[in-house]
């Protein structure tokens, strides 16, 4: 059976720091820390909503975390500016290594799926705008289960939706919470260490492989067979 790869989207395929240039035009030198707080709070909201079983989709987590971040930094953005920032979340760029690596993986016979907290519609739009949608056989969204990563149910859902099995499927993610969630659910998982400063949580649940670029992925997958 061909190996199925589930690619996390935000932070793995797509650079969420891509909003910084828009932010700089609005708030100047606070942009980088603002963007990081926004991303961290967006994820925190998904974890809290999952645990509370009070679901709202990832787009709501993104907009409410933007509101929090504005208040946290005492930055007053107009509704138009907030709408522009949220719209920029659907036009974020793919990382430089994505196109080349995905093309080679498809040629080598791997089945590629995007696998994200984001709603199917939001991810479809984002991947199309980033010019990488055609590399994927499909999009698997946690929104279908009204839950978020790292709920083990979402990894099981990924396998069902892609008709894969634990021994023929990998999660590919730059987010340690996602990698640990997939490994804890019994999947193979590759951690894409997008920054030298990134720390993998010291839980004793390790990625199957660590890579610093998607270019290394195919070699690691073949070696892991
Ligand atoms: C995802 O794309 C949030 O990066 C995470 O599901």
Cis upstream peptide for 120 (omega within 30°): no
> What is the model's pTM?
0.96
Where do we find the tokens 């519609």? 121
Return d(Cα 191, Cα 205) in angstroms, integer.
Answer: 12
- Reading the chain (225 residues) residue by residue, the pLDDT tens digits are 789 999 999 999 999 888 998 999 999 999 999 999 999 999 999 999 999 999 999 999 999 999 999 999 999 999 999 999 999 989 999 999 999 999 999 999 999 999 999 999 999 999 999 999 999 999 999 999 999 999 999 999 999 999 999 899 999 999 999 999 999 999 999 999 999 999 999 999 999 999 999 999 999 999 987
Sheet with 138-141, edge to edge strand ranges: 138-141, 111-116, 4-7, 169-173, 188-192, 209-211
Which protein residue has the closest C-alpha to ligand 1 atom 5?
10
Where do we find the tokens 């590629």? 112
Q: What is the pLDDT of residue 18?
A: 84
How close is the Cα of 8 to the center of ligand 1, in Å? 6
Which atom of ligand 1 is closest in space to residue 149's alpha carbon? 6
How many C-beta atoms lie closer than 10 Å to residue 76's C-beta? 9
**CA proximity to 148, closest of 78, 80, 62, 72:** 62
Which atom of ligand 1 is closest in space to residue 117's alpha carbon? 6
Asked if residue 175 lies in contact with residue 157, where contact means CB atoms within 8 angstroms, the answer is: no
Q: Is 97 helix (H, G, I), strand (E, B) or coil?
A: coil
Return d(Cα 137, Cα 149) in angstroms, integer.
Answer: 21
Asked if residue 152 lies in contact with residue 177, where contact means CB atoms within 8 angstroms, the answer is: no
Cβ neighbours for 41, distance < 8 A, ≥ 6 positions apart: 65, 68, 69
Instruction: Dump pLDDT digits (tens) for 167-182.
Output: 999 999 999 999 999 9
How close is the Cα of 114 to the center of ligand 1, in Å? 10
Q: What is the pLDDT of residue 41?
A: 98
Give the tokens for residue 56.
Answer: 């709202």
Catalytic residue among 8, 97, 143, 178: 8
Which of 141, 144, 149, 198 to probe ligand 1 with, by most ligand atoms within 8 A of CB?
149
Where do we find the tokens 């999947």? 187
How close is the Cα of 128 to the center of ligand 1, in Å? 17
How close is the Cα of 113 to the center of ligand 1, in Å? 13
Give the tokens for residue 108.
Answer: 């080598």
CA distances from residue 121 to 39, 117, 152, 155, 192 in whole angstroms, order as listed: 20, 11, 23, 20, 25
Residue 201 annotated to the active site = no
């Amino acid at each position: 059976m061909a190996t199925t790869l589930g690619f996390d989207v935000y932070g793995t395929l797509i650079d969420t720091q891509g909003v910084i240039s828009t932010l700089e035009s609005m708030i100047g030198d606070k942009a980088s820390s603002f963007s990081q707080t926004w991303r961290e709070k967006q994820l925190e909201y998904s974890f809290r909503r999952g645990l509370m079983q009070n679901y709202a989709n990832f787009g709501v987590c993104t907009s409410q975390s933007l509101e929090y971040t504005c208040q946290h930094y005492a930055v007053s953005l107009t509704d138009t500016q907030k709408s522009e920032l949220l719209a920029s979340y659907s036009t974020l760029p793919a990382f430089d290594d994505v196109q080349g690596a995905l093309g080679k993986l498809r040629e080598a016979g791997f089945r590629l799926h995007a696998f994200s907290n984001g709603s199917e519609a939001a991810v479809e739009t984002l991947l199309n705008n980033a010019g990488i949608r055609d590399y994927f056989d499909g999009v698997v969204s946690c929104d279908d289960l009204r839950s978020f990563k790292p709920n083990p149910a979402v990894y099981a859902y990924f396998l069902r939706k892609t008709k894969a099995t634990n021994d023929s499927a990998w999660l590919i993610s730059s987010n340690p919470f996602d990698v640990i969630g997939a490994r804890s659910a019994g999947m193979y998982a590759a951690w894409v260490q997008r920054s030298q400063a990134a720390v993998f949580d010291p839980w004793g649940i390790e990625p199957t492989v660590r890579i610093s670029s998607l270019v290394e992925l195919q070699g690691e997958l073949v070696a892991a067979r």
